[in-house]
Amino acid sequence: MNPFSFDKVTSPSQFCGRKQELVHLIDFMENKANVMLYGDRRYGKTSLIRKAFSEISETVLPIYVDLYSIVDEMDFAYELYVAVEKATPKTLRSETGKLLKILSSVKGVEFKPTSTGDSFTFKPSFESKDFDKLLSSAIELIEQYCQHSKCTHAVIAFDEFQQIAEISKVKIDAKLRTIAQMNPNVSFVFSGSKKSILRKLLNGIKQPWHGMTTPMSIKGVEIELLKDYCEQRLGGKFETDTFEWLYKTVRGQTRLILLSCYRLYSDKIINPELTHCKNVIDDLVIAFDDEFRDKFIGYSPRQKKALKAIAYSKNKNVFTANTLSKVNLTKQALNQAITALNNADEITKLASGSYQINNILFSLWLESTK
């Protein structure tokens, strides 16, 4: 069996590196700090949260909510209830008779004993379609449990929190801020991969959460630790500077490194050389060719040229006369296209005049289409 898993959240037992980030996140959680955790997709934010949850004090109730697929406020309420139920099989239900009596008074929640009678399930009642009542009852469930157990508070981690920016009917962020201020038994971790949207949502001057969250940025796992991790599972050693090339090429993205090693292992290459890794990356780019062509077609003409200019410049100043000539754009037109791409979270500004495309394989594909 291939020892490399690249499409699943890393289990706490397989967690690698990030010791400092882990210590800080656990400390924030245990001390009821509200955290903004951001970083590109596939860099391990979810794995870090789950690892912290596995090591956090037993006096904290950890609740993980995945918001990736939500469309409206009722989806948000449903995912919160599901997360509360998942978080409590060994705690909330361990004193069934006592707590069921306490919690059954919470409005907007339906309780049902299990067939054995030694536990119960619960779900929200969506009959009223009243988001405020549903949110309040979900929080009250947590509050009641914390008040009648050894838990000091609950930490609710909202993954892909930037999804709520698309919900205009209800200001969910404002309602969560009120909850944080009024409920000493609840704190939040807001995690997201669309960094600019998450920052604007939580740190914008006119936003409800402005100045109320502690930021944590997640980048690649420490290179030496990740190299050791991969070599142990390959059962061999990378040729000198080869892993460093791979790490730099994919910007330390955990998923792409593990995917590359998965392919090396499948090809029975246990001592990878530079050529092997280059071939793997080339194959990955080719595999996504149809998808990237469709993606590229969706951009405006100027945005297409801007993406090419960024890919060609390789993190250097994109506004040089040479680059402008290659893409046949004026500096003003290129700047307008870059602003639009940045607002859509397609690219990230590295320094004055320097940008990178957030999708790493897409960036490599653009480089290959010069």
Would you state the pLDDT for residue 86?
76
Give the DSSP H/E element, type plus range, for residue 61.
Answer: strand 60-66
Would you state the pLDDT for residue 150?
78
Percentage, residues of the chain above pLDDT 70: 86
User: From residue 242, how far is each of 5, 36, 60, 247, 271 by CA, in Å?
Assistant: 21, 34, 43, 9, 10
pLDDT digits (tens, 9 = 90+) for 57-105: 888 989 999 998 888 888 898 888 878 777 764 544 545 444 555 455 4
Would you state the pLDDT for residue 319?
95
- Give 258 or 192, the one with higher predicted confidence: 258
Would you state the pLDDT for residue 121?
60
What distance in Å separates the CA atoms of residue 368 and residue 151, rounded to the nearest whole number? 54
CATH topology of domain 18-217: Rossmann fold (3.40.50)
What distance in Å separates the CA atoms of residue 193 and residue 160, rounded to the nearest whole number? 6
Mean pLDDT of 255-282: 95
| The pLDDT of residue 227 is above 80 | yes
* Structure-block tokens of residue 180: 């944080």
- What pairs with residue 36 in β-bridges? 190, 215
Would you state the pLDDT for residue 220?
75
| Average pLDDT over all residues of the chain | 85
* Structure-block tokens of residue 122: 């619960």
Query: Could you give the dihedral angle defined by the CA atoms of residues 238, 242, 246 and 248, in that order, rounded to the nearest 10 degrees?
Result: 130
- Give 224 or 130, the one with higher predicted confidence: 224
Domain boundaries, given as residue ranges, for the chain: 18-217, 223-287, 290-368
Percent helix / strand / coil, the chain, rounded to 5: 50, 15, 35
Residues 6+ apart with CB under 8 A from 274: 239, 241, 242, 245
Would you state the pLDDT for residue 344?
85
What distance in Å separates the CA atoms of residue 246 and residue 281, rounded to the nearest whole number? 8
pLDDT digits (tens, 9 = 90+) for 328-351: 999 999 999 999 998 888 998 889
Place of tokens 């967690």: 15
| Mode of pairing for the β-strands spanning 186-192 and 354-357 | unpaired
105-112 CB contacts, 8 Å cutoff, 24+ apart? 106/137, 106/140, 106/141, 106/144, 107/133, 107/137, 108/133, 108/134, 108/136, 108/137, 109/81, 109/137, 109/138, 109/141
Cut 0.85: pTM above it? no
Place of tokens 């669309």: 194
Would you state the pLDDT for residue 127?
57
Give 17's pLDDT tier (boundaries 50, 70, 90).
confident
pLDDT digits (tens, 9 = 90+) for 156-194: 999 999 888 888 888 999 999 999 988 888 999 999 877
| The pLDDT of residue 136 is above 90 | no
User: From residue 254, how far is each of 68, 81, 287, 326 by CA, in Å?
Assistant: 20, 31, 19, 33
- Give 39 or 289, the one with higher predicted confidence: 289
What distance in Å separates the CA atoms of residue 118 and residue 107, rounded to the nearest whole number? 23
Would you state the pLDDT for residue 91?
46
Radius of gyration of the chain (CA): 24
Check if CATH label 1.10.10 holds for domain 290-368: yes
- Give 74 or 292, the one with higher predicted confidence: 292
CB atoms inside a 10 Å sphere around CB 369:
13
Max alpha carbon distance in the chain (Å)? 75
What distance in Å separates the CA atoms of residue 140 and residue 84, rounded to the nearest whole number? 11
| The pLDDT of residue 12 is above 70 | no
